[in-house]
Amino acid sequence: MSLLEVRDLTLRFGAVTAFEGVSFDVERGDLFAVIGPNGAGKSSLFNALSRVYEPGAGSVRLDGRDFLRVRRDRLAALGVARSFQNLGVFPHLTVLENVLVGRHRLMHGGIVRGGLGLAGREERRHRAAAIEALDFVRLAEHQATPVQLLPYGHRKRVELARCLAMEPTLMLLDEPVAGMNAGERSEITALVRRLRGERDLTVLLVEHDMGMVMQVADRVLVLDFGAPIAIGTPEEIQSDERVIRAYLGEEFEEAVAA
Amino acid sequence: MTEFLQLLFQGVSLGATYALVALGFAVVYRSSGVINFAQGAMLLLGAYAISWLAVDLGLAFALAVVAATVMLALGGAALHMLVLRRVVGQPTFVLVMITIGVGIAVTHGVEVAFGPDRRLLGDPWGSSAFEVGGVTINTVKVWGIAITALALAAYFAFDRYTRWGLAMQATAADEEATLSVGVPVRRVHAATWALAGALATLGGLFLAGFPGAPQPALGDAALRAFPAIVVGGLGSPFGAVVGGVLIGVVEVLTSGYAPESLGMNFYAVAPYIAMIAILLVRPYGLFGARPVERV
């Protein structure tokens, strides 16, 4: 059984169809990417999968469970972590505190034990896990810095470290390199590759940047005008005519043919 | 010297109560960015609830305090769940306006229900006092300081030693992101408002203690505690406590030492003068987070 099974998923806003009839499987351990030109429905699909929007039809199963019926604050407990396109970090908290928030559902110590000082061991354990996640994104030396003082690329790494600290099985990444300069983009691309390679994780990535996706993805789904037009390995996608047409436009194709 | 110690004691006692009120402001501000202008009405309601339970219903005083605290905590949570939750996504300003409206409605509701006159609080302390080295110590003020210290310690332990302290701060910064790590954001908000209600009850209790009494103007004390949160730094619970004590001491010392030429009620202005003086030196308060922006 696949980790994530999406069947005939459809989302409409009034008369506007964001996407329709989207089906795909994400296998355990895979890095699955959804790409498409602007307005293809990528972000809507991501928001439906992260439960921000309610899809009108179709089903999503996570590990066989009906994903669309889970309360949003319970998604973390099912092993789902997500990052945000426009960053979901806590600016005035320190880097370490940002990552510790990711441990929330794994923490137990209540006020009684905490007040008696018995939570010390638990706290040390969570701090160690948070620092381990910060090591992975190479930010451990900045752990005491408020996030608002860090440059954009570093903040994205803080967010990814928080996702890692949640000990997820499925990580949803919403356009992680959007708005980045070339240096930051290659930095985050390398990090996502390492997520895939060094962690026991399944990753679903929605991304506009074709170059980034081709470097990291195992399988790719291409959306155009809200409909899936191709699914396959990066090599298959790169040579798919419909994808080329969607990305470059028919005029370009005609120009090449002429 | 005796006079100074006398005033200092009264200042610290008043300041402790201000600290409770200011902490009520700070916990709400810290988890939602809202300045709760209903805080004064909550103080008033807390004091009247105690008075009603202890005097009209004849409950034992300690029991009346506990019951009133629970009632106000539930009331605070209900305010969030029934009203404030419905405007999620609106600008913070909308919530602030709602708290002003709720404050007015509650204040007048209390006045309609209980009349405009001073009531008995029903406390066992009354005006009883003892003397230490020439300084008169009112029993109610000792209790006020002790219970405030206990409540503050409990709050800071909760904030530091449970996962909810960090979760509350995260909620204020970014609800979507906080939800995504599995924090039940709605419950955090409801708990914050419950905490504000409980703190307001204790604040109301000691504001209404001798020489005060439950009366409709009691809620104005919230405005007098306002300089405390600004001095301490909005959203800093520790700053709220320091600011509260500072403002209480300034107010009482001014009432004792200010020359008559400044006017009878100069003590009421002094906290604001102190606030402005401190803000000139530290624009974000003593412990406020200085917003840092890249340009």
Q: What is the tens place of the pLDDT at every residue in B260-278?
A: 888 888 888 898 999 999 9
Q: Using an 8 Å CB-CB cutoff, list chain B residues near A77.
A: 182
The pLDDT of residue A1 is 81
Contact by Cβ (8 Å): A224, A34: no
Given B162, B185, B289, which is nearest A110 (Cβ)? Answer: B162
Is 0.90 exceeded by the ipTM? no
Question: Could you read off the pLDDT of B240-264 as tens digits, one per residue?
Answer: 999 999 999 999 999 989 888 888 8
pLDDT at B268: 85
Band (pLDDT 50/70/90 cuts) for residue A167 is: very high
Of B218, B263, B1, which is closest to residue B103 (Cα–Cα)?
B218
Distance between A66 CA and the closest CA of chain B, angstroms: 18
Instruction: Answer yes or no: is pLDDT of B121 > 70.
Output: yes
Give the DSSP H or E segment for A207: none
Percent of chain B with pLDDT over 70: 98
Q: What is the pLDDT of residue A79?
A: 94
Closest CA–CA distance from residue B292 to any residue of chain A (Å): 7
Does residue B9 have a pLDDT over 80?
yes
Distance, CA of B134 to CA of B2 (rounded, Å): 6
Minimal CA separation from A165 to chain B, in Å: 10
The mean pLDDT value for A32-40 works out to 90
Percent of chain B scored above 90 by pLDDT? 61
Cross-chain Cβ contact A88/B289 below 8 Å = no
What span, in angstroms and rounded, lies between the C-alpha atoms of A127 and A102?
Answer: 11
pLDDT surpasses 90 at A208 = no
Dihedral of CA B258/B260/B262/B265: which sign? Answer: positive
Report residue A120's pLDDT band, with 50, 70 and 90 as the boundaries: confident
Instruction: Give the closest residue to B167 by CA, choosing from B190, B149, B148.
Output: B190
Smallest Cβ–Cβ distance between B170 and the set A82, A93, A166 belongs to A93
Average pLDDT, chain A: 89
- Selecting from A101, A103, A111 the residue whose C-beta is nearest the C-beta of B161 gives A111
Task: Tell me the mean pLDDT in the region B158-162.
Answer: 83
When mean pLDDT is compared across B29-33, B49-53, B125-129, B147-151, the lowest value belongs to B29-33
